[in-house]
Chains A and B, each alone.
Chain A
Amino acid sequence: MSEENKNYLSTGDTVKSWLLTTDHKRIGILFLFSILLFFTIAAVAAALMRIELLTPQGDLVHADTYNKLFTIHGVLMVWFFLIPSIPSVLGNFVIPLMIGARDMAFPKLNLLSWYLFIIGGFFAFHAIILGGVDTGWTFYTPYSSAYSNSHVVEMALGIFIAGFGSILTGLNFIVTIQTMRAPGLTWFRLPLFIWSLFATSVILVLATPVLAITLALMSVERIWGIGIFNPKLGGDPVLFQHLFWFYSHPAVYIMILPGMGVVSEVITCFARKKIFGYYFVAFSSVAIAVVGFLVWGHHMFVSSQSIYAGMAFSILSFLVAIPSAIKVFNWTMTLYRGSISFEAPMIYVLSFIALFVIGGLTGLMLATLPVDVHVHGTYFVVAHFHYIMVGGMVTAFMGGLHYWWPKISGRMYPEKLGQLAAIIMFVGFNLTFFPQYILGYLGMPRRVHEYAPEFQIYNVLSTAGASILGVGYLLPLIYLLWSIFYGKRATANPWNATGLEWQTSSPPPKNNFHETPVVTEEPYNYPPLNEIGEITLASNEHK
């Protein structure tokens, strides 16, 4: 193969060429395999919990083991799968391609992010092997800092280190998007995926340090017995919750905004239409990021926060619904009179919209003070955030992975199997988590391994759904790996999509573009628009 025709995968296949790479595409792949590992561990923990909950009695695991299972599940899924999922895998891979750049602004820093992630993951993994942590992913004090007899500090250290990786990733994305755009690629010609990742990066940079200091304070309190959070030592346990949720609520938007970016890319491509209301979709990402910093108190409605603070946080939480709804309405309008085809990425995106609407509306219920007091600490909350994080983010991640898979691997995935897996996931997901809304509304508390017998039917349904969901996740794992070797070779632009990433070969050459592209038009300029352009409102948006 001549030097000219080599792609980023064939420019070296030694272990060293992967572990010391500064190529953003290869780093994206490194992240993909690392997060899959953590996803698998966390999914096994979830499976064990679902099996335990088949019967009202605690017959599979002890209460203590159950506590450790949901902590492992939460910690790994949040910090070692969801947060790096779309940003670090897909974002890393496509941001420079989308903006016509040859790499990130700081390629070495990008690799460092991955190493920090791996070192952090090692500590988390080690804490699990030593016997796990039983505090839940929220590490509430003073239980975590004084009473828990498990490996809290080591787990916190793992998250702390991985957090620095997140900060550096966010920083790298912002600088890259600011300075490395191709000639002609102005801010309002940027793909919406870039806008959403820009907003995500701002949160990564500004919120993650607060988590770092919170976990550090919790750890020094645990190690040296100094009084920050423990009331016995004069500290303030609610202070911990304020600090923790000041990070962790924006973190929820780290876990959903990138998904929304994927939806905007995929929906325009498979509806063959320009996005409806580009400016609104772009700025709603920014609005979600900004307002997201002001709503942390809705996690603390029942933790001695004043009722007036509760009301303020309740209203601010309602406000987040506005930009979120703007996005949903604009996506729906994009579908209107589009020529829609149902390839696998599109099925994922449509299920994203359905599940996000359910998760979002129940979020409004939870933001309502009296309703929250009723369902606080029940399965209703569990169902709500799984609809956002799994129904939303994981679905969008799968959609994005399938959408860019031809670009990443240079091969097509088997379309029929892809569609089947997407449908199985949608069905399995709803069967798993919809019964949990009912369970929560009826009053079943979360984080228990035994429950009253009248709840059994819904738990059985949920476990059955989880098995279907498991099959749904297993399928892509198998056929995507298969397609790397045996899939049909992908052309440069198999979806006939707009966007610079489709103008280079699949897989792209090491330096992305042989010639720096020049951008002369707005994004999502899909051909059908020209035919019906005058009819749809979308075409008038930019005029």
Chain B
Amino acid sequence: MEIPYTIQARPDTGVYNAKLGIWLFLASEVMLFGGLFSSYVLLRVGAEPGMWPHGWLDVRLGTANTIILALSAITTLLAWAACKVGQFGKFKFFHACTLLCALAFLGIKSYEYHDKWIHYEIKLNDGTFADGHLVEKSEDFDLAKKTGTVTLHGRIVNDETLLYDLRSQKDIKLDEVTVKAADIKQMENYGPWHNTYLAIYFTMTGLHALHILGGSIVIGFLWGPGRKMWKTNPTQFTNRIEVSGLFWHFVDLVWIFLFPVLYLT
């Protein structure tokens, strides 16, 4: 059975079915991320005074990832344009670039996640706080039995709010700090459970990373086994590149919002 406008655009609307479909899907996606951004706003305005973190994320890495995604947006566009004018070799090159950008983004993101994972905040029994990246735990370290020591690359502060607003402090000195298990009241890494900022940071960037991953799979498929269609039906293949490209641009756009919201404020 023949479904009209699967490949050719409908003259009065100027779009083919899949293109209209992807735009609607993206509208749906906007609402999905919109829910998360609204949650971010409400959690932020509802946070206790001084307890919303500033400067916890590395702006340099965030900027690098922003540039990488912006580049990938350009290469996606060039790949589509190459298909449009029938230069399949160029398409393969540009699409590979997009894929590499996606993997580079995910690599940097994993590094950032890992950096938070090994970052600990330790409440000590004397009311001070030890905070920093894990260097080592002694072999007999056991929090429950209160034996052994843990070494962090970080600092000890008296006031917990100092750990939250890093941007207002100049020249933070970091050193090796060793803490005895017997002195520890509570020890927790900077995972999503640490506070609401990290909770929403991990869910927002995690969902975004899942979208990058999904997009990479589609792009990888169209670059790899899916490219056979170029021989049989180049117009439809070009449409597929366009539709997947629209999705990819949306994912980039989400990051354009995530970057200032999470890194720069």
| B24 engages A174 (CB within 8 Å) | yes
Given contacts A105-B3, A107-B3, A225-B193, contact A239 B25 (CB under 8 A): no
- Over the window 1-35 of chain B, the binary record of Cβ atoms lying under 8 Å from chain A Cβ atoms (1 yes, 0 no) is 11111000010010001001100110111011111
State whether A212 touches B27 (Cβ < 8 A): no
- Chain A hits for B51, CB < 8 A: 234
Known contacts A102-B1, A102-B3, A228-B203: A243-B24 contact under CB 8 Å: no
Taking CB atoms, residues of chain B closer than 8 Å to A220 are 192, 203
**Which residue from chain A places its CB closest to the CB of B197 in the assembled complex?**
A234
B144 within 8 A of A: no
Closest to A107 in B: B3
Interface class of chain B by DSSP? helix
Name the residue of chain B whose CB is nearest to the CB of A109: B21
Is B36 an interface position by the 8 A CB rule?
A: yes
Q: Judge if B202 is at the interface, Cβ distance under 8 Å.
A: yes
Contact in complex: B196, A214 (CB < 8 Å): no
Partner of A227, one of B4, B27, B199: B199
- For the complex, is B85 an interface residue (Cβ under 8 Å from A)? no
B contact residues around A175 at 8 Å (CB): 17, 20-21, 24
Q: Chain B 177-207 against A: per-residue CB contact (8 Å), 1 yes, 0 no?
A: 0000000000000011101101110110001
Q: Are A228 and B196 in contact (CB under 8 A)?
A: yes
Identify which of B3, B27, B35, B192 contacts A213 (C-beta below 8 A): B35
CB distance A210 to B35 under 8 Å? Answer: yes
Q: Complex: how many Å from CA A357 to CA B66?
A: 54
Q: Is B89 engaged at the interface, CB distance under 8 Å to the other chain?
A: no
Q: Beyond A226-B192, A235-B43, is A209–B35 a contact (Cβ under 8 Å)? A: yes
Q: Does B67 make an interface contact (CB < 8 A)? A: no
Q: Does A171 touch B at the CB level, under 8 Å?
A: yes
- B32 near A227 with CB under 8 A, answer no
Q: Which residue of B lies closest to A171 (CB)?
A: B24
Chain B, residues 48-90, CB within 8 Å of chain A (1/0): the string is 1001000000000000000000000000000000000000000
B15 to chain A: closest residue by CB: A179
Q: Is A180 an interface residue (CB 8 A)?
A: yes
Verify if A208 is at the interface (C-beta below 8 Å from B): yes
Bound CA–CA A235/B199 (angstroms): 9
Q: How many residues of chain A get a CB closer than 8 Å to chain B's CBs?
A: 42
A511 interface residue per 8 A CB criterion:
yes
Task: Determine the chain A residues whose CB is within 8 A of the CB of B198 once the complex forms.
Answer: 226
Q: Is B128 in contact with chain A by the CB < 8 A criterion?
A: no
| Cβ B31 vs Cβ A227 within 8 A | no
From B3, B17, B31, A210 is in contact (CB under 8 Å) with B31
- Residue B46, interface by CB 8 Å: yes
Tell me the B204-235 residues at the A interface (CB within 8 Å).
207
Among residues of B, the one whose C-beta sits closest to the C-beta of A220 is B203
CB contacts under 8 Å to B, within A484-534, are: 511
Q: Tell me whether A89 is interfacial, beta carbon within 8 Å.
A: no
B169 close to chain A: CB less than 8 A: no
The residues of B that contact A102 with a CB separation of less than 8 Å are 1-3
Q: Is A103 in the interface zone, CB < 8 Å from B? A: yes
Q: CA A171 – CA B21 in complex, angstroms?
A: 6
Interface assignment of A471: CB less than 8 Å from any CB of chain B = no
A207 to B35, CA, bound (A): 10
Q: Are B4 and A217 in contact (CB under 8 A)?
A: no
Q: Are A106's CB and B21's CB within 8 A?
A: yes
B14 to chain A, nearest CB (A): 11
Closest chain A residue to B6 by CB distance? A105
Are the C-beta atoms of B38 and A243 separated by less than 8 Å?
yes
- A209, B3: Cβ atoms closer than 8 Å: no
Chain A residues near B172: list those with CB within 8 A: none
Tell me whether B253 is interfacial, beta carbon within 8 Å: no
Most buried by B among A170, A178, A511: A178
B43–A228 CB distance below 8 A:
yes
B28 and A167 within 8 A (CB): yes
Cβ distance A340 to chain B, nearest Cβ, rounded Å: 39
Closest to B45 in A: A236
What is the chain A residue whose CB lies nearest that of B36? A213
Q: Is A205 an interface residue (CB 8 A)?
A: yes
A157 to chain B, nearest CB (A): 16
Nearest Cβ in chain A — how far from B13, in angstroms?
7
B125 at interface by CB-CB < 8 Å: no
Asked whether any CB of chain A lies closer than 8 Å to the CB of B138, the reply is: no
Give Cα distance in the complex from A228 to B199, angstroms: 7
Contacts A171-B21, A213-B36 hold; do A206 and B31 have CB atoms under 8 A apart?
Answer: yes
Tell me if A224 and B28 are in contact (CB < 8 A). no
B72 shortest CB reach to chain A, Å? 24
**Would A178 and B42 count as touching, CB distance under 8 A?**
no
Q: Which residues of B contact A107 (CB under 8 A)?
A: 3
Q: Which of chain A's residues have a CB closer than 8 A to the CB of B203? A: 216-217, 220, 226, 228
Distance, CA A107 to CA B10, complexed state (A):
18
Cβ of B158 within 8 Å of any chain A Cβ, yes or no, is no
Interface members, chain A 215-263 (any B CB < 8 Å): 216-217, 220-221, 224-228, 233-236, 239, 242-243, 246
* Nearest 5 A/B pairs, CB to CB: A209-B32, A213-B35, A226-B199, A226-B192, A209-B31
8 new A-B contacts, CB < 8 A, other than A105-B21, A227-B193, A235-B199, are A103-B1, A105-B3, A171-B25, A174-B20, A205-B25, A210-B35, A220-B192, A226-B203
List 6 interface pairs A-B (beta carbons < 8 Å), by A numbering.
A205-B27, A206-B28, A208-B28, A217-B39, A233-B199, A235-B196
